Chains A and B, each alone.
Chain A
Amino acid sequence: MSREDGERRPRPVLAVASAAATALAATSLAPLFQDRSWVLPTLGAILVVAGAGALVRRFRVPPVFTLVGSIAALHLYLTAVFTGSQALLWVIPTADSIEAMLALLRDGRHTAETYAAPLPVGDGVRIMTAYGVGFVAAAVDLLAVRLRKAAPAGLPLLALYSVPAAVRTESVSWVAFALGAGGYLTLLALEARDRVTAWGRVVPSSFGRFPSVQGSAETFAPRVTAGKRVGVASIAVAVAIPALVPGLGATAVFDFGGKGSGGSTTITTADPLVDLKRKLTNLGDAEVLRYRTTAADPDYLRIFALDVFEDDRWTYSALASGAAPKIDGGTLPRVPGLTVSAYVDSRTEITVAPKVRDMKFLALPYAPREIDIEGDAWRADRQSLMVFSTGADADGLTYTVDSRRATPTPGQLRRASPAGLGRYTDVPRLPQEVITLTEQVTGKARTKFDKAVALQRWFNREFTYSLEPPPPTSLSDLTAFLHDRRGYCEQFAATMALMTRLLNIPTRVVVGYAPGTWQADGTYLVRQRDAHAWPELYFEGAGWVRFEPTPGGTGAPSSVGSPEYTRPQTQTPENDGSEEGPETPEPTASAEETPSAAPTETAAATDPERTQGADEDGALPVGWIIGALLLVLLAGSPRLVRAALLRLRWGPAADPASAAWAQLRGDALDYGLGWQVAESPRAVIGRLGRRLGPDAAEPLARIALARELSRYAPPGALPPQGGAGLRGDTRAVRAAMDAAATRPARVRASLLPASSLDAVRRAWEAARDRLPRRAGREDTDAP
């Protein structure tokens, strides 16, 4: 009969669905690779596994053979595809082909370890992916088709899905999630449908005749579509709600509130500038890091390089799109553009304060050449030389960096042709006013370098430092800044960068720290308020050099000195760290004040992520903790009510006899022993005594006696034992009740004492009875 058939041999559609579910779940892998060439071998692997599974199932063999067969087939297939030339008859593995395959796998592993997320796809990566997905397909096939347990088949699929979730800091795209979920739910529905079909005869919806007994049950394909709506709704919930929950996912890693730019980036950060203002106004004195350097005067410490101006703000887009390699062995990618200029090498040992939280980007002097740091998750972006981690934090770490600072002469910079690097000169449509202003300010300068210097001088001279304006969030804020001529480093850096881009000079905005304060022990101390932002301009031959439009002094909140490098000379720019004049003859002026002055000022100006990270970190859990506390409170409220009742009942003014009686009543209710108002004290203790056994008899008798005395004896007749004794008696009775109660009753009495509810009800009834309608309503309460 069809029923047994259905049980033994699943419908092939189930096998198809499980293969499809695996394939759909594998779509979430897409962002891990730079191109699509992994798709074909992976799809092939899935199909081969499904086919082998179906083949093995034809023979009625134990489930484990299905798995073995699938994986063997997978291996043959991959041998044929990747190492066919070394294999016998293209399929059968030989020692050579196995060797070659192992080599490929090693290669794939190496690639995965060396590069950040979008991996360059070679044979190694392809074969690794195909193997991995193939294994998942085999597991899903085994579970869902052979063992007919589609629900646990979700686990291997989840494992597949968790790969990109774990590797990439960004969330898996919701589309990929929805696809994978859809595949799984379809599989689930089909399997459930199969079970139902095996359970009974399927009667088609469009019904015209009686199905006969032998009924062509199977010919009516059951409608899986019935689950469509529920499935879609579930997926929608699963996609929508996380989107509404703040503080989760990629952004949580960086503790910035902002947005990630889309696309293929591995690491996006929110706008590092976004919280500058808030932190600056804190004038945080908290230590961020200390460092010791061989440089005569230290350079700024860079953290972020913001290379894209979009949505009216500076941000950085594609950190990993250039396949950020690991800083394996400490050597970083070569310094872009530094060819002609002279340079100074220095070594800096930086210790991050332990309190700093979630520091995923290293603060480094430009340009880092070699880094010695614990942990292997550190990667360097080729373009910006930002160094960041996909895993570890730098909190509390000490690391050493060798850096090379270009020291070009103004002449070199004047001669430099800032060609190429087109994306660093992209600007949005700027208000005409800005363009005009730029032309005015730089009109007289002949070279691009001179124009940049003119701009910087203009900013330094014509603008004042102030933390009052809000952080720029739109172009109109920028124009406002140009009118008000007041602002802080963020506005200066952002605006100057836009203007130099208008001048076709490749520019990016860098966020980091000013050099900090020199300490007696020879180290420099960088505090929160040393956070800073400045533009970097690219000149061929020297590479990226720093400019400093932010003026020092007057309005700057920091009490300490004004920024040396910004103010002094018209041509700061000739070395990329303008502030430390010493190396170049010109910036002498700035030289003196270097160590202490510069940092303090900038401190006022800025301060990026550090401490703020800690704050936000705290914020999320607090909400949850409060929620949990509320929940606990709610759950515990009956207990609390009971405790309060106790205190009230046995208060100093209370009559011990009635208190004991009320207590007895409450306890009886708690343990579900019932209570009738009509019962006389004797009747009650008789009934309870029988339930509770001899131990409780005496205390019960005393309580009843006290009750009777207080009720019926002339006033003043005191119970033989005092209030304390009565209270002890009630405790003994409660203990006896507890001993006699069943376990659930005991738990209920302890956690959800019914007497508390009863008290509330009585209070309510009392209040209601006080209303004119009706008085004197007796309460009866049996639980």
Chain B
Amino acid sequence: MGVVRTALEALTTRGRSFAAAGVTAVACSFLLGERDLLRAGLLVLALPLISALAVSRTRYRLACARRLWPARLPAGHEARADLRLENVSKLPSGLLLVEDKVPYTLGGRARFVLDRIEPHGHRELSYRLRSDVRGRFRVGPLTVRLADPFGLVELARSFSLTDTLTITPRIIDLPPERVLGAWDGDGEHRARALAVTGEDDVAPREYRRGDDLRRVHWRSTARHGELMVRREEQQWQRRATVLLDTRRAAHPEEASFELAVSVAASVGVHLAEEGLALRLVTDAGHDPSVVERPGADAGGELLDAMAVVARSDGESLVPGLAAVRGTGAGRSGGLLVAVLGRITAEEAKALAGVRHGGAVALLVDGDETGAAAPLRGAGWRVLAPTSLADLPAVWTGVAG
């Protein structure tokens, strides 16, 4: 009964009109005694009702799976969404209108019309997604409308399953290079690298559960009277901090900000691919979504962060500087890459004060003059790429 009612409620405007016209005609036919009118009325009445019954009878269960591939891609590239609809009931389905909800910037709705799915059969649908704007987008949920062939009934059913598509900023590949060695050692000279990073590499710490016994530093153990291990993993790790200035004041124009994001992402990914552990710091402070550890994942996390980063209303760079300085990066640092927009001379001085050497400033707003001098004075490399395409050349130039 409930099924029938659902089906009746699913009548479309056309279906309702048919039913109403049918009832009227049948009533009139009785008033007028016209068998012919009765026939026409019954036809028009029966059609939506039988359609509704047919649709409700084939209320089947559908299983749906979606795969986005890739789930993260740069703006301007295409991803593909694969849908797999499976009819898990024992009845064949009727006409299916399948609609996957896709944000407008990704190309709007993806709609498919399926004639039927046989029992235990499945259909695979796929469509492409593409966006020129970075961001994180929800794809789905999938809506399936069961329809009849006459357009009289539509029964909508929704899946709750959604997927997230991350559109990262456009990035550009930077040429693999030894240049990093200039800042951070190249792994062949570990000692030097350790020296550069400035950490007291031999300082042992207490043994904690899970530490490798081979790393026990027996001499210190003897001295401290408890198990001590070498803190070598920190020392071996090469690090880089990316500082992105997201203040609206620094990027009065959208374009400048987007370029900054792209540059930061490109450099970050490049560094991650070079094996550095990445930290992301914005003007608001340390961004924990990028976990500091070496490996390709770091680049991905940075890209995710860069996909959704937006201009902030912050006034000051201070929290960011504090984060750079405070959490160790300032002290030892590894490489510091600051992607900056328009900054004042004071801010530049403050920035220069955070770090002496081992730092690159990328000024995307083209304004080198005021800000560059204090930074250069503090041993920074100051680069001013005017476009993303420009970046590799500029970067290489630095290397050279």
- A interface list, Cβ under 8 A from B: 151, 154, 158, 161-162, 164-165, 171-172, 174, 177, 181, 185, 188-189, 191-193, 195-197, 199-205, 207, 210-211, 213, 222-224, 226-227, 229-231, 233-235, 237-239, 241-242, 245, 247-250, 252-253, 624
Known: A222-B115, A227-B148, A237-B43. 5 other contacts (CB 8 A): A172-B36, A202-B115, A205-B114, A230-B51, A248-B35
Chain B 106-120, CB within 8 Å of chain A: the 1/0 string? 000001111110100
Instruction: Give the docked Cα–Cα distance between A200 and B116 (Å).
Output: 15
Answer yes or no: B259 CB below 8 A from chain A CBs: no
Instruction: Give the docked Cα–Cα distance between A234 and B47 (Å).
Output: 5
Answer yes or no: B133 CB below 8 A from chain A CBs: no
Instruction: Tell me whether B39 and A238 are in contact (CB under 8 A).
Output: yes
Name the CB-closest residue of B to A213: B128
Known: A204-B115, A210-B126. A224 touches B149 (CB 8 A): yes
Instruction: Tell me whether A234 and B50 are in contact (CB under 8 A).
Output: yes
Chain B 137-152, CB within 8 Å of chain A: the 1/0 string? 0000000000111110
Chain A residues with CB under 8 Å of B127's CB are 213
Instruction: Tell me whether B34 and A165 are in contact (CB under 8 A).
Output: yes
Name the CB-closest residue of B to A28: B36
In the complex, chain B residues 122-174 whose Cβ is within 8 Å of any chain A Cβ:
123-128, 147-151
User: Quick one: which of B30, B54, B147, B150 contacts A624, CB cutoff 8 A?
Assistant: B30
Instruction: Give the docked Cα–Cα distance between A231 and B148 (Å).
Output: 11
Known: A207-B124, A230-B51. A245 touches B40 (CB 8 A): no
Instruction: Give the docked Cα–Cα distance between A229 and B92 (Å).
Output: 14
Chain A residues with CB under 8 Å of B50's CB are 230, 233-234, 237
Chain A residues with CB under 8 Å of B44's CB are 154
Instruction: Tell me whether A199 and B40 are in contact (CB under 8 A).
Output: no
Instruction: Give the docked Cα–Cα distance between A223 and B42 (Å).
Output: 26
Chain B 28-40, CB within 8 Å of chain A: the 1/0 string? 0110011111111
Instruction: Tell me whether B115 and A223 are in contact (CB under 8 A).
Output: yes
Name the CB-closest residue of A to B27: A624
Instruction: Give the docked Cα–Cα distance between A213 and B50 (Å).
Output: 35
Instruction: Tell me whether A177 and B36 are in contact (CB under 8 A).
Output: yes
Instruction: Tell me whether A196 and B35 are in contact (CB under 8 A).
Output: no
Answer yes or no: B97 CB below 8 A from chain A CBs: yes
Chain A residues with CB under 8 Å of B128's CB are 213
Q: Distance (Å) between the CB of A353 and the closest chain B CB?
A: 23
Name the CB-closest residue of B to A250: B35
Name the CB-closest residue of B to A235: B43
Question: Could you write out 27 A-B pairs with CB less than 8 Å apart?
Answer: A151-B14, A151-B18, A171-B35, A188-B151, A189-B150, A192-B150, A199-B111, A199-B113, A200-B113, A201-B112, A201-B113, A202-B112, A202-B113, A203-B114, A203-B115, A211-B126, A222-B115, A226-B116, A227-B149, A227-B150, A230-B47, A230-B150, A237-B46, A238-B46, A249-B33, A249-B35, A624-B30
Instruction: Give the docked Cα–Cα distance between A230 and B55 (Å).
Output: 10
Instruction: Tell me whether A200 and B97 are in contact (CB under 8 A).
Output: yes
Instruction: Give the docked Cα–Cα distance between A56 and B174 (Å).
Output: 61
Answer yes or no: B99 CB below 8 A from chain A CBs: yes
Main secondary structure of the interface of A (DSSP, over half): helix
Instruction: Give the docked Cα–Cα distance between A237 and B127 (Å).
Output: 43
Instruction: Tell me whether A242 and B39 are in contact (CB under 8 A).
Output: yes
Known: A165-B34, A242-B42, A249-B34. A200 touches B147 (CB 8 A): no
Instruction: Give the docked Cα–Cα distance between A295 and B37 (Å).
Output: 47
Q: Distance (Å) between the CB of B126 and the closest chain A CB?
A: 5
Instruction: Give the docked Cα–Cα distance between A195 and B113 (Å).
Output: 11
Top-3 shortest CB links A-B: A200-B111, A227-B149, A249-B35
Chain A residues with CB under 8 Å of B54's CB are 229-230
Known: A233-B50, A234-B50, A248-B38. A200 touches B98 (CB 8 A): yes
Known: A196-B97, A227-B149, A242-B39. A252 touches B33 (CB 8 A): yes
| Total chain B interface residues with beta-carbon distance under 8 A | 45
Instruction: Give the docked Cα–Cα distance between A239 and B114 (Å).
Output: 32
Answer yes or no: B94 CB below 8 A from chain A CBs: yes
Chain B 4-38, CB within 8 Å of chain A: the 1/0 string? 00000000001001100000000001100111111
Chain A residues with CB under 8 Å of B148's CB are 227, 230
Name the CB-closest residue of B to A197: B113
Answer yes or no: B95 CB below 8 A from chain A CBs: yes
Chain B residues with CB under 8 Å of A191's CB are 151
Instruction: Give the docked Cα–Cα distance between A241 and B127 (Å).
Output: 48
In the complex, chain B residues 74-111 whose Cβ is within 8 Å of any chain A Cβ:
82, 94-95, 97-99, 111
Instruction: Give the docked Cα–Cα distance between A174 and B42 (Å).
Output: 13
Chain A residues with CB under 8 Å of B29's CB are 248
Instruction: Give the docked Cα–Cα distance between A189 and B34 (Å).
Output: 28
Instruction: Give the docked Cα–Cα distance between A301 and B205 (Å).
Output: 132
Instruction: Give the docked Cα–Cα distance between A197 and B35 (Å).
Output: 37
Name the CB-closest residue of A to B152: A192
Instruction: Give the docked Cα–Cα distance between A161 and B34 (Å).
Output: 13
Chain A residues with CB under 8 Å of B34's CB are 165, 248-249
Name the CB-closest residue of B to A184: B43
Instruction: Tell me whether B151 and A192 are in contact (CB under 8 A).
Output: yes
A188, A196, A234 — which one has the most chain B CB atoms within 10 A of its CB? A234
Chain B residues with CB under 8 Å of A199's CB are 97, 111, 113
Chain B residues with CB under 8 Å of A161's CB are 36, 40
Instruction: Tell me whether A181 and B42 are in contact (CB under 8 A).
Output: no
A172, A192, A250 — which one has the most chain B CB atoms within 10 A of its CB? A192
Q: Distance (Å) between the CB of A478 and the closest chain B CB?
A: 33
Q: Distance (Å) between the CB of A632 and the closest chain B CB?
A: 15
Name the CB-closest residue of B to A152: B17
Known: A195-B151, A227-B148. A205 touches B116 (CB 8 A): yes
Instruction: Give the docked Cα–Cα distance between A249 and B36 (Å).
Output: 7
In the complex, chain B residues 204-227 whose Cβ is within 8 Å of any chain A Cβ:
none
Chain B residues with CB under 8 Å of A202's CB are 112-113, 115
Instruction: Tell me whether B123 and A196 are in contact (CB under 8 A).
Output: no
Chain A residues with CB under 8 Å of B150's CB are 185, 188-189, 192, 227, 230-231
Known: A196-B97, A231-B47. A158 touches B124 (CB 8 A): no
Q: Distance (Å) between the CB of A231 and the closest chain B CB?
A: 7
Chain B residues with CB under 8 Å of A229's CB are 54
Q: Distance (Å) between the CB of A764 and the closest chain B CB?
A: 21
Instruction: Give the docked Cα–Cα distance between A231 and B46 (Å).
Output: 9
Known: A203-B123, A226-B95, A226-B149. A239 touches B39 (CB 8 A): yes
Name the CB-closest residue of A to B115: A205
Instruction: Tell me whether A230 and B33 are in contact (CB under 8 A).
Output: no
A151, A172, A196, A230 — which one has the most chain B CB atoms within 10 A of its CB? A230
Q: Distance (Å) between the CB of A388 and the closest chain B CB?
A: 18
Name the CB-closest residue of A to B33: A252
Known: A171-B35, A249-B33. A185 touches B47 (CB 8 A): yes
Chain B residues with CB under 8 Å of A158's CB are 40
Instruction: Give the docked Cα–Cα distance between A222 and B125 (Å).
Output: 17
